[in-house]
A = this chain, B = another copy of it.
């Protein structure tokens, strides 16, 4: 298989695009595509400050890399969840993020002196304060849930009824809160996550099997900051297959944590991914088309009625100020009240 652009040996063949590329051209192609999606879905502009949620995995580190190489003002946020899982999962993940930033500085001499790893000064009462004021010099914010709130994800999950024995629901709630908070308090315009096409399609597939109207109308490459205290959320890799994001990390030499979160095992989204992978194998491009057809159908008003119905009035949480449908405290703050 030859690279379509230069004829050298290809490192990846993307059947759904009928496109094979060598390493060099693939490393050009991914940022080009990402830039295209950023513009197409109006995710953010060059003037805006971006907070990238990094987990130490291939998607989020590749995304941060691509955004920095495209010249965006993108800082990282690592949330330490305190997940052990036999593989020292959280510490390893943190290490990967720190390593990525050091390595990026080393490979990018202009930034060598500026990039820094800042442990955000956060207290449960005051919210995070970032010390990074120099643009173009990426910073990694680190929020350690266990240190900040006194309990790790696993500990909180063990004393709540959310999620039927799995911490995933609590973990999602806490991450959303912290991401929003660091974005807001750090003055970021937008929060970017590394969700790839396979992630988006697995979620869409699950929400379609249950025909969950509330979730269907809200799944999009961009969630606008339409409530006070909510950051705009964007997914610049939403049209990139998981294998493309993994290949980008590999070819670019980004080290990342290979393990899935130990709690993900047996999750429905992983079961859905297996089904979708089989379909993709039989019919290349079916995942991408499923996602794009969905976006198009919504744009053309398929869910217009449900979108109006899904609009709910939110209050500011009395404690943290983030929007909530509850009358007093948001679900995140209630989590800690119960101790």
Contact = CB atoms under 8 A, between A and B. Distances in A.
A209 B201 CA distance: 10
| Contact-residue bracket for chain A | 20 to 34
Contacts of A312: none
A303 interface: yes
B302 A304 contact: no
Contacts of A302: 211, 213, 216, 303, 305-306
Nearest to A305: B304
B213 A289 contact: no
B271 A275 contact: no
Given A301-B306, A304-B306, A306-B304, A210 B275 contact: no
Copies of this protein, total: 2
Interface in A200-225: 208-213, 216
A203 to B, nearest CB: 14
A135 B293 CA distance: 49
Contacts of A309: 301
B210 A293 contact: yes
A294 interface: yes
Interface string A280-300: 001100100110011011001
18 contacts: A208-B290, A209-B289, A209-B290, A210-B289, A210-B293, A211-B293, A211-B294, A213-B302, A216-B302, A275-B275, A278-B278, A301-B309, A302-B303, A302-B305, A302-B306, A303-B303, A304-B304, A305-B306
